[in-house]
Amino acid sequence: MLANSAQTSDIIEDIAQRKAKYEKLYREKQTVIRADPAQAEQLSSKFFMMKCLGQTSFDDPKCRLAILGRFESDTEIVPASFEDNLKIHEAAHAILTYIVSAQISEQPVAIQQRIITRALELKCVFATPKSS
């Protein structure tokens, strides 16, 4: 159970911020990847393990922290190639999978709704401007 409303608000804000951040990054890289589906297909097997790791149950806290740390590091690289963009895309997807399947789903329904509402508000803040 959550200790108090300040702690609850902090949890809501933290999860919503992370969800909005990684959704934005995922969408940005998805645009790059869709521009070259053949190359994405060719490299997809290289990132199969990353997808599997992102979908694990994360039962072991040490394993969970190590995997999430690796994914977060992967999202921080400056892409110099299509492969780098794909790596960032897959890492962001794995983190989002964890946020939704573990962090949000373990909260009471009322808190889940507040997280999603806040994440939608932040989506506007984090929105990528459309080019004219």
The answer to the question of residue 105 being in a domain is yes
Per-residue model confidence (pLDDT) at position 132: 44
For residue 122, which amino acid is it? Answer: L
The answer to the question of residue 55 being in a domain is yes
Cα gap 20→27, rounded to integer Å: 11
- How far is CA 71 from its chain centroid? 9
DSSP secondary structure letter of residue 45: G
The answer to the question of residue 5 being in a domain is no
**Average pLDDT per block of 10 residues along the chain, 132 residues long:** 75 95 95 92 74 60 82 95 93 90 92 95 72 47
The answer to the question of residue 130 being in a domain is no
Tokens encoding 120: 């939608």
Cα gap 128→33, rounded to integer Å: 16
Question: What's the whole-model pTM score?
Answer: 0.80
The answer to the question of residue 59 being in a domain is yes
Per-residue model confidence (pLDDT) at position 1: 44
The answer to the question of residue 6 being in a domain is no
Count of structural domains, the chain: 1
The answer to the question of residue 96 being in a domain is yes
Per-residue model confidence (pLDDT) at position 4: 75
- Residue 103 is part of which domain span? 15-124
Tokens encoding 64: 């969970």
